[in-house]
Amino acid sequence: MNYKNTFITIVGPTAIGKTALSIQLANHFSCDIISCDSRQFYKEMSIGTAVPNAEELAAAKHHFIQNRSIFEEYNVGQFEKDALQKLDELFTENSVQIMVGGSGLYVDAVLKGLDYFPEVAPAIREQLNVELAENGIASLQNKLKELDIESYKTLAIDNPHRLIRALEICIGTGNTYSSYKNKPKAPRNFNAIKIGLTADREILYNRINQRVDIMMNNGLLEEAKKLHQHKTLNALQTVGYRELFSYFDGNFTKEFAIEEIKKNTRRFAKRQGTWFRKDTAITWFDYQEEIAPIIETITTKL
């Protein structure tokens, strides 16, 4: 089905160059950028989440960048509603708009819709975050295995956000998380075009390692130190912060924490690749591709 409005979404693993491409495309199509990076919503987390710099933010109008506090509860369901509302506003100005980010679940929420889950008491998530901080992720993985074997088999169980989300539904409702999945979704009022950036694994991993070094040089240690006292907050269950919290707690040396950030970011990138490769609607380009062929591909789909 063809729609009047077109929504271009740029996906791919962390550190691949999505921000730069999104700005080039936003300038070409004279439109805004919706960020769907679930780590960049929070204003207290700048360095460790690779928020676009001032020059990049000035080059195109961005939405959902550092618009929340880590002390606010914010989830993918709320983002879906907020992003669709913002899109309706933006489409009145330009029938082409852009979204960029590596958070696959958040991308799918906007493009396809989410499964409905009942509200559960916030105290459940708080307790699970405490358990994560005190006992490690394996404790939560074992709990999910007992409560919902289907989700244990299908979820990215080394992702604490996904793990805690599934567990809080299991505990709060008495039903399995998987029992709420894959129900019919509300249709969207736009045509979706998906562009993906890719690189050889060695190149990507080198880019990730270099980015972590740059983050450390830019003050990530100091940023994490300010946030350490709030380490059980859901927003801070994030690569780059968890490892430094372990250093502050005396469990890691600083050098080991930095290597863990690099390793866990590479693992995160691998999970992102696995998620996005399942989507046959994505047109893939090498991260060094010139802008002209990408624009040409998009234009043929408009």
**Over residues 160-170, mean pLDDT:** 93
Give the pLDDT band of residue 125 (cuts 50, 70, 90).
very high
Query: Would you say residue 73 has pLDDT above 80?
Result: yes
110 vs 206: CA distance, rounded Å: 31
Q: Do 53 and 67 lie in a common domain? A: yes
Q: What domain count does the chain have? A: 2
Q: Do 215 and 86 lie in a common domain? A: yes
Segment (H or E) for 259 = helix 254-277
136, 164, 180 — which closes off a domain?
180
What is the CATH classification number for the domain harbouring 66? 3.40.50.300
Range from 22-26, 113-117, 275-279 carrying the lowest mean pLDDT: 113-117
Give the pLDDT band of residue 2 (cuts 50, 70, 90).
low
Write the burial class of residue 184 (CB in 10 Å: 0-12 exposed, 13-18 middle, 19+ buried): exposed
Over the chain, what is the mean pLDDT? 94
Query: Would you say residue 112 has pLDDT above 70?
Result: yes
Helices (H), 112-180: 122-135, 137-147, 149-154, 160-173
Q: Do 110 and 128 lie in a common domain? A: no
180, 201, 230 — which closes off a domain?
180
Q: Do 295 and 222 lie in a common domain? A: yes
Q: Do 165 and 190 lie in a common domain? A: no
> Which pLDDT score, from 0 to 100, does residue 299 have?
95
Q: Do 165 and 213 lie in a common domain? A: no
Q: Do 72 and 141 lie in a common domain? A: no
Q: Do 81 and 100 lie in a common domain? A: yes
Cβ-contact 276, 191 below 8 angstroms: no
**Over residues 251-270, mean pLDDT:** 97
Side-chain-side CA neighbours of residue 15 (13 Å): 25
Domain carrying residue 148: 122-180
Query: Would you say residue 248 has pLDDT above 70?
Result: yes
Q: Do 17 and 109 lie in a common domain? A: yes
Under DSSP, the state recorded for 13 is -
Q: Do 223 and 271 lie in a common domain? A: yes
Counting residues of the chain whose pLDDT is more than 90, the rounded percentage is 87
Q: Do 246 and 161 lie in a common domain? A: no
Give the pLDDT band of residue 183 (cuts 50, 70, 90).
confident
Range from 57-66, 108-117, 126-135 carrying the lowest mean pLDDT: 108-117
Query: Would you say residue 1 has pLDDT above 80?
Result: no
146, 164, 180 — which closes off a domain?
180
**Over residues 156-184, mean pLDDT:** 90
Q: How far is CA 34 from CA 7, 191, 198, in A?
A: 10, 16, 21
What are the structure tokens assigned to 82, written together?
A: 């907020």
Q: Do 240 and 262 lie in a common domain? A: yes
What is the CATH classification number for the domain harbouring 137? 1.10.20.140
Q: How far is CA 148 from CA 138, 162, 184, in A?
A: 15, 13, 22
Q: Number of helices and strands (H, E) in the chain?
A: 13, 6
3-state SS class at 80: helix
What are the structure tokens assigned to 301, written together?
A: 């789909």
Q: Quote the pTM value.
A: 0.81
